[in-house]
Each structure stands twice: as structure tokens, then as C-alpha cells.
Structure 1
């Protein structure tokens, strides 16, 4: 890839990674990833700040990238076993606070991917908040990002038991 191509790719990644705002809710540092090419699942992570003057709650997420999109977290089942679970009530975001969606914790889960998530692509996700309503976020796919404390995705129990 030439220097010019790399420059434009980097500029595009920065432009889509800029914070999204709606009614006092700010989404920043968002990225999405999958474990490998051809995977059927993927996830998105971000920081959600609430400066709305009132407590709010992330209650849903939607995207055309997958047949099903859910809000998930990890439950410690003991003996080093973690299980991924759907959080139907969503994630509380108190006024003036930040809630992080991170690997190994709360996240947006894409199930039944309808296309590959390739490094450098963007994924459009609509986050629905109880009070602020819908926030549409363009999330860059970053398959190279290393997060501290990240869990190995392969060690997760993806069953609904």
C-alpha cells in the first residue's frame, strides 16, 4: 500500500472514530472486531458518557451487519469459566458518568454476521437509549487492537443456558 493510500485510510479511520453525540449522550473510542475471517459472531466496544442531566439506560442495539444484535456481559461461573449472557434490561448510564463496553465485560454482540468484518471497514450501529433515543454510530473494525485485561473470545460459553 502506498504512503498516500495509507494516509487516506488513516484519515478515514480517524473521521469515523470521532465521538457521536445525541441528547447529552456521547459515544467515543468505539471499535468492532471478530475473531477471524468467516466468523459468525463479532462484537463492538466503546465508552458511553452521559452528560444529559438525567440518568439513562442503553436498552438496545441494531445493525444490518448481523441477523441478531444483543447487549451482552460475562458472568463468572467459577473455576475460571466465564459465560456470555444477554442483558435484557440493558446498561445503566448515570448522569455525569461513563460506562465502558470492553472486551471481557459488557459489549454489543453481533450474532449471525451477514458479511465479513474486515480490518478498516466500518459498521453502522444504532444504539437505543431509554431517554435519549437512538444514536447512530459508525464504528471502525479494528482487528489489531490490543486491550488490557481482554479475555480470549474462544474461552467463552456462547450457549443460552
Structure 2
């Protein structure tokens, strides 16, 4: 009995001590300012935006995302092609060691195609970010209605 108890204590100490060594990418990435855009009824697609920060000393690769709120969830970016802004799917998003990457309008974002539910402002959707090592970061992403907002006295419009 004593030998078994000592083995359990030793194994517990070993795993708790070594767990940072075996931590997945999902444990090293933090998410800030995440939201998904509310869209009018009948609109089949939306996008989720956020800031991802890699707190580790190694580069991390985001390979995809999942959400029951959409049939298909892909990583996308916008590029300028022949004078037109075009959206295209990307295979991955690199998260350099110790840096933040913004997923923002006109740039990288999580595209939600074939919405399975209405995106109601004030509610949240479930989403998982999937990393190259197979680890997943589970998120509750708030749904936000974007509105046009007057900016300063210059009467410039911007998406907010």
C-alpha cells in the first residue's frame, strides 16, 4: 500500500511539474476583443474578428476554426487584386512568438459560411480555434451589431 501511494504521489508530481512542457498551442494563445458580426435575417454568412496573442517562445500556427453556428468555418483574408478587394481562404495564420495578430475588417478573419442559427446581438456563439498541433481553444464569442457612426465634426463615416 505504501509503495503504491508513493508511486501515485511521484507520478502526480511528475505530471504537474512537466505539464508546461507538454502544453498544447491552445494553452499559449490568449484571445482579446473577440466578436462575431450580427447579420440581417437571411444573410447566410458572417465573420468573427479578434486579437490573438502568442505568449510562448515558439511560433504557433492557427490551422482552422469550428463552430456549430455555421456549416463551414474557414480562415480568410482580403487581398487587392486588379484594383478590387477580394476575399480568399488561407490555409493557416501564423502567430509569431511573443506577438499579437489582429483578425480585423479588411484583413485576416474567421469566415462563417452557411449560418445554422440567427446571430442575435447580445448572445454568444461557441467557437473553437484549432492549432497545428491539434489542440483547440474553446471560446464563447459575443454577437455584436455593427452600426455606422459619425466621427468628429468632419462627418466621416466608419464601421464601428
Instruction: Provide the aligned C-alpha RMSD in A.
Output: 2.5
**Structure 1 residue 43, shift from structure 2 partner:** 0.7
Q: Which runs of 5+ in 1 are unaligned?
A: 1-20, 153-161
Is 1:31 paired with 2:35? yes
Aligned in 2, Cα 1:110/1:34: closer, same or farther, shift over 3 Å?
Answer: same
Deviant stretches of 4+, over 2 Å = 144-148
The total of aligned residue pairs comes to 129
Instruction: Provide the rounded CA distance (Å) in 1 between the counterparts of 2:37 and 2:117.
Output: 13
Report the TM-score when normalising by structure 2.
Answer: 0.73
Q: Which runs of 5+ in 2 are unaligned?
A: 1-24, 152-156
**1:100 aligned to which of 91, 98, 102:** 102
Q: Do the aligned residues in 1 keep the contact of 2:26 with 2:131 (CA within 8 Å)?
A: no
What is residue 140 of structure 2 aligned with on the other side? 138
Once the two structures are superposed, what CA deviation does each residue of 1:24-49 show, in whole Å capped at 9, x if it has no partner? 21011100004322210011000000
What is residue 84 of structure 1 aligned with on the other side? 87
What is residue 55 of structure 2 aligned with on the other side? 51
Taking the TM superposition and a 5 Å limit, the aligned residue runs for 1:108-127 are 108-127=110-129
Q: Which has the larger radius of gyration?
A: 2
What is residue 14 of structure 2 aligned with on the other side? none
Instruction: Provide the rounded CA distance (Å) in 2 between the counterparts of 1:38 and 1:111.
Output: 12
Instruction: Indicate the structure with greater helix content.
Output: 2
Instruction: Provide the rounded CA distance (Å) in 1 between the counterparts of 2:82 and 2:36.
Output: 28
> Could you tell which deviates more after superposition, 134-143 or 32-41?
32-41
